[in-house]
């Protein structure tokens, strides 16, 4: 048995070593923007250099990770529909005019730059009845445009001429193509559709010469995230059904369609890692995220609740998002904010509270909360106790649990005095806290 004097000194020493910090996993924060125009497209080639574009011909660029932005002169006042860069120099953007002034013509503006957007040149797509909403280039010569109506066109000479690819649109031959993306020089995907009519995905396995279409939903798909050579997810939705996804795990041979039960249009999607995927939800002012390659989804508010329309992760550490009124958000995994409130909810769907009493002998209570994800699915939950060497002492919880608050009693009757750790894990994320056994 420890004497009272020894207990006081041991407790004082332990408390000096202990710092009960919980770190927020919500690494999004708003950064300065040079414009109040709505930004609809986010494209980065690395963690430092990227472009945002949108309303009224707006294009802005950063070369230092969003610390500073330069407003570029696109030369047009039309909305930028899409923007794509091959490297720091070569880039393209699309815009179109449906009802031109008397001295203009309808059709698609194709913007090009060879110096990172310092100068943009403007040419018109030859067919004035086509309105191109997406652009993608495989190299400096071979590129693709997609648009209205259900057309994917290809160039092999950097836009000097364009040819119509074999685009299978089933019976829906007038629906637009909203996005095009390639895994490599042979495998590519496209998506599109129109609300209350159809949502469509297309797949090519021969470098874009032929596209196989699949009608999947009553609402359109807007963006594409390619996870690997087999798995791809398209984001979409409408104001009636809310956000939705279409995913394939076998290169488009079969697709799985699901509505997520969250109001808002999922106009942007990108993966931070191979398993962690994020989507925007527009005016719902939420991010949707999945930690298991899109099988289940949860939602968190956007910082400050702006409407976010697109996002792009440069790697597992950094990402950017943009939306209405020129708002720009940055994801920075290298930063963590200390939560002063011990009861603050963990941003990825659960909260672990400090045990009480603490120090204790021999019993203590551990409380935790599992939040509801977007569809109320059960979560895989583990609560494990470790000693100071990292060895597992006791598994208190290991199984699926519904959203709610839980209380667990831990009995350390057979353990010696010392520092112990208890770790709550759920959906790929975990929180660890310290506790003291003092006998």
**More confidently predicted of 29 and 349:** 29
Residues 6+ away with beta carbon under 8 Å from 253: none
> Which residues in the chain are classed under CATH 2.130.10.10?
28-332
289 vs 299: CA distance, rounded Å = 6
* Predicted confidence (pLDDT) at residue 246 exceeds the cutoff of 80: yes
- Expressed in angstroms, the distance from the first to the final Cα of the chain is 7
Mean pLDDT of 240-254: 92
State the chain's mean pLDDT as an integer.
86
Q: Which CATH number fits domain 28-332: 3.30.565.10, 3.50.50.60, 2.130.10.10, 2.60.40.420?
A: 2.130.10.10
357 or 337: whose pLDDT is higher?
Answer: 357
What percent of the chain lies above the pLDDT cut of 70?
Answer: 86
Note the pLDDT tens digit of each residue in 295-336: 888 888 899 999 999 999 999 899 999 999 999 999 998 874
Start-end of CATH 2.60.40.1930 domains in the chain? 4-23+347-437
What per-residue confidence (pLDDT) applies to 385?
Answer: 96
For 187-250, give the DSSP string.
Answer: -EEEEEEETTTEEEEEEESSTTSEEEEEEEESS-EEEEEE-SSS-EEEEEEETTTEEEEEEESS
User: What own/partner pairs with CB < 8 Å and gap ≥ 24 does 137-141 have?
Assistant: 137/84, 137/86, 137/90, 137/92, 138/182, 138/185, 138/207, 138/208, 139/86, 140/86, 140/90
- Distance, in Å, from the CA atom of 178 to the CA atom of 82, rounded to the nearest integer, reads 9
pLDDT digits (tens, 9 = 90+) for 366-403: 988 776 665 667 888 999 999 988 899 999 999 998 87
Give CA–CA dist 291/273, Å, rounded: 9
Q: pTM of the entire structure?
A: 0.75
Give the per-residue pLDDT at 104: 65
* Lookup result for tokens 């909403």: 133
Strands (E), 249-362: 256-259, 269-271, 277-280, 286-290, 298-301, 308-313, 318-323, 328-332, 350-352
**CATH T-level assignment (fold) for domain 4-23+347-437:** Immunoglobulin-like (2.60.40)
Give the C-alpha distances (Å, rounded to integers) separating 29 from 85, 87, 242, 280, 413: 25, 26, 25, 15, 45
With the CA atoms of 373, 379, 384 and 390 taken in that order, what torsion angle do they form, in degrees rounded to the nearest 10?
A: -70
- H and E: helices and strands count for the chain: 1, 36
């Amino acid at each position: 048995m420890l004497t009272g004097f020894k207990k006081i000194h041991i407790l004082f020493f332990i408390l000096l070593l202990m710092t009960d910090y919980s770190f927020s996993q919500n690494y999004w924060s708003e950064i300065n923007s040079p414009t109040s125009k709505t930004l609809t497209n986010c494209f980065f080639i690395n963690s430092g250099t990227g472009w945002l574009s949108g309303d009224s011909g707006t294009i802005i660029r950063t070369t230092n990770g969003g610390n500073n932005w330069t407003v570029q002169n696109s030369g047009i006042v039309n909305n930028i529909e899409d923007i794509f860069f091959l490297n720091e120099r070569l880039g393209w953007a699309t815009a179109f005019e449906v009802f031109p002034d008397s001295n203009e013509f309808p059709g698609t503006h194709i913007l090009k730059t060879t110096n990172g957007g310092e100068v943009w040149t403007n040419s018109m797509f030859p067919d004035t009845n086509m309105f191109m909403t997406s652009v993608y280039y495989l190299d400096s010569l071979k590129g693709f445009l997609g648009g209205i109506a259900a057309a994917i066109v290809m160039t092999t000479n950097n836009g000097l001429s364009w040819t119509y690819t074999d685009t299978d649109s089933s019976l829906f031959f007038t629906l637009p193509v909203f996005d095009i993306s390639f895994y490599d020089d042979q495998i590519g995907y496209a998506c599109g559709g129109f609300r209350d009519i159809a949502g469509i995905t297309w797949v090519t396995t021969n470098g874009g010469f032929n596209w196989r279409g699949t009608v999947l939903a009553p609402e359109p798909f807007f963006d594409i995230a390619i996870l690997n050579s087999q798995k791809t997810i398209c984001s979409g939705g409408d104001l009636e059904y809310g956000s939705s996804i279409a995913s394939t795990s076998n290169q488009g041979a079969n697709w799985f369609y699901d509505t997520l039960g969250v109001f808002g249009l999922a106009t942007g999607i990108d993966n931070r890692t191979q398993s962690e995927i994020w989507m925007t939800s527009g005016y719902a002012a939420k991010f949707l995220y999945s930690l298991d390659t899109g099988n289940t989804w949860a939602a968190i508010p956007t910082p400050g609740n702006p409407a976010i329309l697109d996002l792009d992760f440069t790697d597992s550490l950094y990402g950017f998002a943009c939306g209405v009124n020129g708002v720009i958000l940055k994801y920075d995994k290298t930063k963590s904010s200390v939560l002063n409130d011990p009861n603050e909810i963990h941003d990825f769907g659960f909260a672990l509270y400090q045990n009480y009493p603490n120090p204790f002998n021999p019993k203590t209570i551990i409380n935790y909360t599992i939040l509801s994800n977007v569809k109320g699915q059960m979560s895989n939950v583990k609560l494990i106790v470790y000693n100071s060497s990292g060895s597992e002492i006791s598994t208190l919880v290991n199984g699926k649990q519904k959203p709610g608050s839980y209380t667990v009693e831990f009995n350390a009757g057979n353990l010696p005095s010392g520092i112990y750790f208890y770790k709550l894990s759920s959906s790929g994320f975990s929180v660890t806290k310290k506790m003291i056994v003092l006998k």
